[in-house]
């Protein structure tokens, strides 16, 4: 029938390399094509990335330049106004975006590597290694994260970007390791994973080619969640004055605004950019996550009810055709 | 009992269409069936033949991308597709209930079995007191030979056979007149399968409910049913009393294929055959009889038009070849 | 019968699982002192119900579950305890196909992607992977091959998926294929084709097959020899062509009756099914079938019967049978 037709046209030329249908519908591109929320989230996200990358070009002044009149409200000279110390808030925000994102991504990279190493790999391997690593993860999970971070940050004292990344990354992997572990456990026992091993695939190949693509949506969600967590953690530490106080970031913007009495002086322009940056960037991550969820989890997708009348008409048309 | 031929279930010219990405797929195509009280109707066909869709249509549980586009389904003279959603919900389980292939579909994994049993009564019989409910549940469990101690268990703590017994007990909890059983024993071992079939028969003789029993295994269905309908590509191709499938010689070629796929136990070896070819494409149907690409007896007439059900012996068959042979016999 | 070359032999194999029930931990033996042999080019059927340990035995033979006691030999080499590297070598000779055709293929790869990698891995440098893939698809009836290659698993029927799984197993050019319930998820009307394919592979590729199933008729249909398992133990082993006439063990009889839809002589009590898991406990000493056996006597619940010869190539583990054959012997 239908198969025969295809066979007739393709049989002759199948020996050469054939275009391989890729699994993109499970990945990012498919999600972006299909889902409005993901599209909006992605556009905002890319906007922030652009700001971070182009910071030297688009910041109008140096963020540490204190030569401006203090506590000026937004104006043509200072789009976001100035701080109590006479810095340009707009330039601080732009440079702050850059350093916040760098710390956020860097910390997420560290925590992802740890989560994969502690969560995924041992779960696939099984046995004592998994038991030890699972216990280790659980111990880390019950240690309250923020105090641990605070202690670590206070101990390091003069933290720079790198130490911030390390502190946040090293304290934020446990929850994600657990999620990856449970998913890996369930996938590693599927027959197709066994079959791949039986056909001689190496363990890394099984992990990367068989297991990981099947948990891509979870992995992505965990990644987005990780970035959000890292940025919040960075802002929290900075706000508490435990960060890199010589640099600017969304958190330090808030810290200085708070310490400089922005609230008392009614200098809303000093407080707002840092907070909004965190909130909007967080929203973009959340939107992408929702979109990903809806596309990969059919239960969340809005079920489109077919109209009975329309189907009835189509059916009658079909029958009318075939009876002719 | 004298029910005077008032059918429990009447299906008249029913068609159900799925909307798929590839196009319209008529999973059930102009099916007419009637089931009298206390009878067991076997519905047999390969996966994708429309038997489960028909079951869902009878329960009023079609998936969102499917719709009943033609015909009428009435249970106890009540047209299901004229009921409002709340009325349908009340009607379901009270008048028509269902047993699924996997009891894990019906049983919630995190609630003890007993609690789920009670829920049926709190929803449909709110007036019943708790002691009454518990007494009733115990009765039901006795009927399916499950010890009441298992009420405290979770579904996964029961064996496959026990879960299916519990599912049956739940299906008969409100004394429905009709139970749809969709492959209720397919996931079970041979021995347990037979035990469950015997159980269904025994309880059915006590309670006299009607059953639509769906399976891909003609042998199993002919063991339990009083009537059998064979479905292919959404249509009924053969219908008749169960005995005819074991005794009479003339069948639809597809039925013949199904009969040949039953292992025969006599002699030293079993022999089994397959129905050759692959299941039909519903979206792009072939012309004429849907079975002709797989049929050993197909000839020109089969490509031109779809055959209708015609009386043959004690049953009905939709096949031009059978018609032709019958005519030849009548003449010769 | 000419004695064929022995391919795989297991002596007193034991697999143990730890089971937690509430706060108590039990040791269970899903495979309990099982000895078996598979000759090359032979089809051995292992028949039993769920919980009989047949799947665990299959996985142990395939090196997927560790054997805690006893020894397993492949072509005279001890393969009871292999490390990961040795296992990979082992799997060049022993392959497995699974029951669950919906989980046995990676859902995101096309048939060609699933198959070309393992074929490439095992092909000799002179072989064309494309040609080999084409041959295997033809051999297993996956035609038209060009259309099938491009399909994703969810676009295939159940029978086609199992064929793809078979091709993947064949890619390693194994000597032994362990087939765990390969047809039980397929429609009855399509099972014969897969069974015939397995028989065809044995005839043409010289493959030995261990066919694991709960469906006695299909085992009798395809196998040369049948091992009946219950409660982790072998209860009867017999030539397939003699099984219908000569099988004697009460459990085999029960399976035969169920296959014929005959009612059992004594109706089972409600406890019959729940009793099956307790006979796997390490602490249980009697015959595993005793709680359900219609002819069980005192000794059956206290002493485990051993497999004894009761006919030509015919062993059974049953106190009643060994008593009667002893009486005959005198």
ipTM attached to this prediction: 0.86
B99 forms bridges with which residues in the sheet? B181
Under DSSP, the state recorded for C181 is S
**Which one, of C203, C196, C199, C223, lies nearest residue C211 by Cα?**
C223
Distance from CA of A134 to the nearest CA of B (A): 24
Question: From the list C195, C221, C258, which residue is nearest B191 (CB)?
Answer: C258
Task: Dump pLDDT digits (tens) for A25-49.
Answer: 445 666 677 788 889 999 999 999 9
Tell which of C187, C220, C223 to mutate to test the B interface (max B CBs under 10 Å): C187
DSSP string, C191-226: HHHHHHHHHHHHHHH--EEEEEES-HHHHHHH-SEE
* pLDDT band at residue B23 under the 50/70/90 scheme: confident
Bond before C310 cis per omega within 30 degrees = no
**Nearest-angstrom CA–CA distance, A307 and B17:** 11
**Nearest-angstrom CA–CA distance, A19 and A36:** 29
Of A298 and C248, which is predicted with more confidence? Answer: C248
Question: From the list B146, B191, B273, which residue is nearest C49 (CB)?
Answer: B191
**Which one, of B150, B147, B315, B124, lies nearest residue B238 by Cα?**
B315
Tell me the CA distances in angstroms from B50 to A151, B30, B282, C19, one per residue in order: 65, 11, 10, 42
Q: What is the pLDDT of residue B1?
A: 41
**Which one, of C216, C231, C205, C241, lies nearest residue C292 by Cα?**
C231
- Let me know: does A82 contact A70? Beta carbons within 8 Å: yes
Under DSSP, the state recorded for C273 is T
What size, in residues, is chain A?
324
Across the interface, whether the CB atoms of B281 and A306 are under 8 A apart is answered: no
Residue C134 confidence (pLDDT) above 90: yes
Other C-beta atoms closer than 10 Å to the C-beta of A233 total: 24
Residue C242 within a domain: yes
How large is the average pLDDT for residues B201-206?
A: 92
How many CB pairs below 8 A link A and B? 36
Burial of residue A324, with CB atoms counted within 10 A of its CB: 0-12 exposed, 13-18 middle, 19 or more buried: exposed
Task: Dump pLDDT digits (tens) for C304-324.
Answer: 999 999 888 999 999 988 777
Across the interface, whether the CB atoms of C244 and B267 are under 8 A apart is answered: yes
* pLDDT band at residue A24 under the 50/70/90 scheme: very low
Question: From the list A14, A197, A214, which residue is nearest C108 (CB)?
Answer: A214
Q: In what order do the strands lie in the sheet with C176-180?
A: C94-97, C176-180, C208-213, C43-47, C225-230, C233-239, C314-316, C308-311
Task: Dump pLDDT digits (tens) for A242-277.
Answer: 877 778 889 888 888 888 877 787 778 888 888 899
Residue C227 within a domain: yes
Instruction: Please calculate the CA angle B120-B121-B127 and round it to the nearest 5 degrees.
Output: 155
Q: Which positions in chain C touch A23 (Cβ < 8 Å)?
A: 108-109
**Nearest-angstrom CA–CA distance, B253 and B282:** 20
Residue C193 within a domain: yes
Number of domains, chain C: 1
Question: From the list C91, C98, C165, which residue is nearest A200 (CB)?
Answer: C91
Question: From the list A6, A10, A200, which residue is nearest C172 (CB)?
Answer: A200
Question: From the list B19, B284, B293, which residue is nearest A311 (CB)?
Answer: B19
Min mean pLDDT across A286-295, B87-96, B282-291, C216-225 is at: A286-295
- C306 in B contact zone (CB under 8 Å): no
Q: How many CA atoms lie within 13 A of B31 on its CB side?
A: 36
Other C-beta atoms closer than 10 Å to the C-beta of A163 total: 17
**Which one, of C168, C198, C167, C206, lies nearest residue C181 by Cα?**
C198
How large is the average pLDDT for residues B25-46?
A: 93
Give the rounded distance of the alpha carbon of B19 from its chain centre. Answer: 23
- Closest residue in B to A315 (Cα–Cα): B69
Q: Is C43 helix (H, G, I), strand (E, B) or coil?
A: strand
How large is the average pLDDT for residues B51-73?
A: 90
Q: Strands, E, within chain C: which ranges? A: 6-21, 24-39, 43-47, 69-74, 77-78, 94-97, 176-180, 208-213, 225-230, 233-239, 308-311, 314-316
Under DSSP, the state recorded for A48 is H
Tell which of A311, A316, A317 to mutate to test the B interface (max B CBs under 10 Å): A311
Give the rounded distance of the alpha carbon of B159 from its chain centre. Answer: 24
Distance from CA of A186 to the nearest CA of C (A): 12
Chains that touch B (3 or more CB pairs under 8 A): A, C
Q: Is C227 helix (H, G, I), strand (E, B) or coil?
A: strand
Residue C65 confidence (pLDDT) above 50: yes
DSSP string, B163-211: HHHHHHHHHTTT--SEEEEESTTTTS-HHHHHHHHHHHHHHHHHH--EE
Burial of residue C18, with CB atoms counted within 10 A of its CB: 0-12 exposed, 13-18 middle, 19 or more buried: exposed
Across the interface, whether the CB atoms of A315 and B284 are under 8 A apart is answered: no
**Nearest-angstrom CA–CA distance, B162 and B146:** 7
**Which one, of B172, B187, B186, B252, lies nearest residue B219 by Cα?**
B186
B181 forms bridges with which residues in the sheet? B99, B213
- Contacting C with CB below 8 Å, chain A residues are 3-4, 6-7, 10-11, 14-15, 18, 20-21, 23, 26, 190-192, 194-201, 203, 210, 213-214
**Nearest-angstrom CA–CA distance, A317 and A311:** 10
Distance from CA of C10 to the nearest CA of B (A): 26
**Nearest-angstrom CA–CA distance, A168 and C324:** 76
Q: Which positions in chain B touch C21 (Cβ < 8 Å)?
A: none
- Let me know: does B261 contact B327? Beta carbons within 8 Å: no
C227 forms bridges with which residues in the sheet? C46, C237
**Nearest-angstrom CA–CA distance, C214 and C181:** 7
Q: How many CA atoms lie within 13 A of C158 on its CB side?
A: 20
Tell me the CA distances in angstroms from C164 to A6, A143, C134, C152, C207, one per residue in order: 19, 49, 12, 11, 17
Q: Which positions in chain B touch A304 (Cβ < 8 Å)?
A: 64-65
Q: What is the pLDDT of residue C30?
A: 92
Tell which of C116, C144, C155, C163 to mutate to test the A interface (max A CBs under 10 Å): C144
**What mean pLDDT, rounded, does chain C reach?**
88
Q: What is the pLDDT of residue A22?
A: 37
Task: Dump pLDDT digits (tens) for A55-83.
Answer: 888 887 887 777 878 777 888 888 888 88
Distance from CA of A81 to the nearest CA of C (A): 53
Tell which of B57, B67, B289 to mutate to test the A interface (max A CBs under 10 Å): B67
Q: What is the pLDDT of residue C1?
A: 45
Q: How many CA atoms lie within 13 A of A183 on its CB side?
A: 22
Angle between helices C129-139 and C111-122 (to 10 degrees): 120
Residue C1 within a domain: no
Other C-beta atoms closer than 10 Å to the C-beta of A49 total: 15
Q: What is the CATH number of the domain that holds C322?
A: 3.40.50.300
Distance from CA of B90 to the nearest CA of C (A): 33
* pLDDT band at residue A218 under the 50/70/90 scheme: confident
Q: Is C316 helix (H, G, I), strand (E, B) or coil?
A: strand
**Nearest-angstrom CA–CA distance, C176 and C170:** 10
**Nearest-angstrom CA–CA distance, C295 and C248:** 12
What are phi and psi for residue A87, nearest 5 degrees?
-100, 160
Residue C300 within a domain: yes
How large is the average pLDDT for residues B57-82?
A: 90
Q: What is the pLDDT of residue C330?
A: 53
How large is the average pLDDT for residues A156-172?
A: 83
Residue C266 within a domain: yes
- Closest residue in C to A206 (Cα–Cα): C106
Residue C210 within a domain: yes
Nearby residues of A127 by Cβ (< 8 Å), 6 or more positions away: none
Q: Is C330 helix (H, G, I), strand (E, B) or coil?
A: coil
Do strands B227-232 and B40-44 pair parallel, antiparallel, or not at all (unpaired)? parallel
Burial of residue B293, with CB atoms counted within 10 A of its CB: 0-12 exposed, 13-18 middle, 19 or more buried: middle
B67 membership: H or E segment, kind and range = strand B66-75
Residue C194 within a domain: yes
Min mean pLDDT across B110-114, B162-166, B184-188, C17-21 is at: C17-21
Share of chain C above pLDDT 90, in %: 55
The interface residues of chain B toward chain C in range 256-285, judged by CB-CB distance below 8 A, are: 257-258, 261-263, 265, 267-276, 278-279
Question: pTM of this prediction?
Answer: 0.84
Residue B141 confidence (pLDDT) above 70: yes
Q: Which positions in chain B touch A314 (Cβ < 8 Å)?
A: 17, 24
Instruction: Please calculate the CA angle A160-A164-A166 and round it to the nearest 5 degrees.
Output: 120
**Which one, of B302, B331, B303, B325, lies nearest residue B313 by Cα?**
B325
- C284: domain range? 6-329
Q: How many CA atoms lie within 13 A of B165 on its CB side?
A: 29
**Which one, of C314, C317, C306, lies nearest residue C235 by Cα?**
C317
Task: Dump pLDDT digits (tens) for B220-268.
Answer: 899 999 999 999 999 999 999 999 888 877 899 999 988 888 776 665 5
Q: What is the pLDDT of residue A13?
A: 28
- Closest residue in C to A10 (Cα–Cα): C146
Across the interface, whether the CB atoms of B17 and A314 are under 8 A apart is answered: yes
Other C-beta atoms closer than 10 Å to the C-beta of B200 total: 24
């Amino acid at each position: 029938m239908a198969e025969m037709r295809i066979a007739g046209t393709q049989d002759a030329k199948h020996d050469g390399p054939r275009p391989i249908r890729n699994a993109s519908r499970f990945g990012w591109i498919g999600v972006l094509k299909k889902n409005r929320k993901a599209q909006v989230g992605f556009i905002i996200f890319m906007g922030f990335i652009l700001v971070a990358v182009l910071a030297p070009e688009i910041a109008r002044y140096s963020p540490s330049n204190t030569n401006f009149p203090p506590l000026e409200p937004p104006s043509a000279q200072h789009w976001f106004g100035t701080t109590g110390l006479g810095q340009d808030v707009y330039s601080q925000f732009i440079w702050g975006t850059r350093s916040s994102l760098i710390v956020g991504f860097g910390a997420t990279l560290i925590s992802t590597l740890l989560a994969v190493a502690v969560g995924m790999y041992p779960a696939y391997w099984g046995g004592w290694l998994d038991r030890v690593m699972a216990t280790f993860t659980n111990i880390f999970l019950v240690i309250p994260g923020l105090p641990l971070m605070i202690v670590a940050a206070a101990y390091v004292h003069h933290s720079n970007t790198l130490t911030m990344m390390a502190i946040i990354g090293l304290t934020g992997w446990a929850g994600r390791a657990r999620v990856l572990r449970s998913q890996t456990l369930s996938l590693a026992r599927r027959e197709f994973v066994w079959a791949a091993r039986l056909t001689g695939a190496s363990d890394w190949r099984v992990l990367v080619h068989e297991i990981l693509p099947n948990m891509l949506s979870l992995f992505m969600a965990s990644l987005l969640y990780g970035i959000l967590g890292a940025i919040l953690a960075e802002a929290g530490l900075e706000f508490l004055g435990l960060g890199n106080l010589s640099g600017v970031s969304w958190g330090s913007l808030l810290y200085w605004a708070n310490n400089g009495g922005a609230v008392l002086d009614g200098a809303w322009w000093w407080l707002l950019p840092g907070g909004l940056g965190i909130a909007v960037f967080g929203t973009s991550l959340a939107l992408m996550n929702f979109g990903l969820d809806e596309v990969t989890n059919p239960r969340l997708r809005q079920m489109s009810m077919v109209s009975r009348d329309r189907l009835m008409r189509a059916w009658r048309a079909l029958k009318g055709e075939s009876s002719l | 009992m004298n029910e005077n031929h008032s059918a429990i279930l009447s299906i008249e010219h029913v068609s159900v269409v799925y909307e798929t990405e590839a196009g319209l797929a008529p999973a059930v195509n102009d099916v007419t069936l009637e089931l009298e009280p206390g009878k067991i109707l076997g519905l047999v066909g390969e996966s994708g033949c429309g038997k489960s869709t028909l079951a869902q249509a009878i329960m009023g549980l079609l998936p969102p991308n499917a719709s009943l586009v033609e015909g009428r389904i009435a249970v106890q003279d009540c047209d299901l597709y004229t009921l409002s959603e709340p009325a349908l919900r009340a009607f379901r389980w009270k008048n028509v209930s269902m047993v699924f292939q996997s009891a894990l579909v019906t049983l919630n994994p995190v609630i003890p079995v007993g609690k789920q049993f009670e829920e049926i009564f709190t929803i449909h019989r709110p007036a019943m007191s708790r002691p009454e409910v518990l007494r009733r549940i115990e009765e039901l469990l006795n009927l399916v030979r499950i010890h009441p101690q298992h009420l405290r268990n979770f579904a996964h703590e029961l064996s496959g056979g026990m879960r299916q017994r519990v599912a049956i007990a739940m299906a008969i909890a409100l004394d429905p007149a009709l139970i749809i059983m969709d492959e209720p024993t397919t996931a079970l071992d041979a021995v347990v399968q037979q035990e469950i079939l015997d159980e269904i028969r025994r309880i059915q003789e006590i309670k006299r409910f009607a059953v639509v029993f769906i399976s891909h295994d003609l042998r199993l269905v002919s063991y339990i049913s009083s009537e059998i309908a064979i479905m292919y590509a959404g249509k009924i191709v053969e219908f008749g009393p169960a005995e005819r499938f074991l005794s009479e010689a003339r069948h639809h070629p597809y039925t013949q294929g199904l009969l040949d796929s039953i292992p025969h136990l006599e002699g030293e070896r079993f022999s089994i055959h397959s129905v050759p070819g692959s299941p039909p494409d519903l979206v792009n149907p072939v012309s004429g009889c849907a079975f002709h690409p797989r049929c050993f007896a197909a000839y020109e007439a089969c490509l031109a038009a779809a055959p209708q059900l015609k009386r043959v012996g004690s049953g009905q068959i939709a096949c031009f070849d059978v018609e032709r042979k019958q005519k030849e016999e009548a003449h010769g | 019968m000419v004695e064929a070359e022995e391919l795989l032999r297991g002596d007193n194999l034991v697999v143990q699982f730890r089971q937690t029930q509430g706060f108590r931990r039990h040791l269970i033996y899903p495979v309990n002192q099982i000895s078996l042999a598979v000759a090359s080019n032979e089809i051995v059927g292992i028949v039993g119900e769920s919980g009989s340990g047949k799947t665990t035995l299959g996985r142990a033979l395939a090196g997927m579950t560790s054997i805690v006691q006893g020894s397993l030999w492949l072509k005279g080499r001890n393969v009871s305890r292999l490390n990961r590297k040795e296992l990979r070598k082992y799997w060049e000779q022993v392959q497995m196909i699974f029951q669950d055709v919906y989980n046995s293929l990676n859902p995101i790869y096309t048939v060609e992607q699933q198959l070309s990698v393992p074929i490439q891995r095992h092909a000799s440098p002179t072989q064309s992977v494309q040609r080999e893939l084409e041959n295997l698809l033809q051999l297993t009836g996956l035609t038209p091959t060009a259309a099938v290659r491009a399909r994703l698993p969810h676009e295939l029927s159940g029978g086609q998926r199992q064929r793809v799984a078979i091709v993947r197993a064949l890619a390693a050019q194994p000597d032994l294929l362990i087939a765990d319930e390969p047809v039980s998820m397929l429609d009855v009307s399509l099972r014969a084709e897969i069974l015939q394919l397995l028989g065809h592979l044995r005839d043409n590729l010289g493959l030995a097959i261990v066919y694991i199933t709960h469906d006695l008729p299909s085992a009798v249909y395809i196998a040369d020899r049948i091992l009946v398992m219950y409660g982790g133990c072998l209860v009867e082993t017999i030539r397939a062509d003699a099984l219908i006439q000569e099988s004697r063990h009460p459990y085999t009889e029960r399976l035969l009756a169920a296959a014929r839809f005959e009612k059992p002589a004594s109706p089972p009590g409600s406890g019959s099914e729940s009793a099956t898991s307790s006979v796997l406990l390490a602490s249980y000493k009697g015959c595993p079938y005793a709680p359900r056996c219609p002819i069980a006597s005192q000794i059956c619940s206290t002493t485990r019967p051993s497999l004894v010869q009761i006919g030509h190539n015919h062993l059974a583990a049953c106190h009643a049978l060994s008593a009667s054959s002893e009486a005959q012997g005198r």
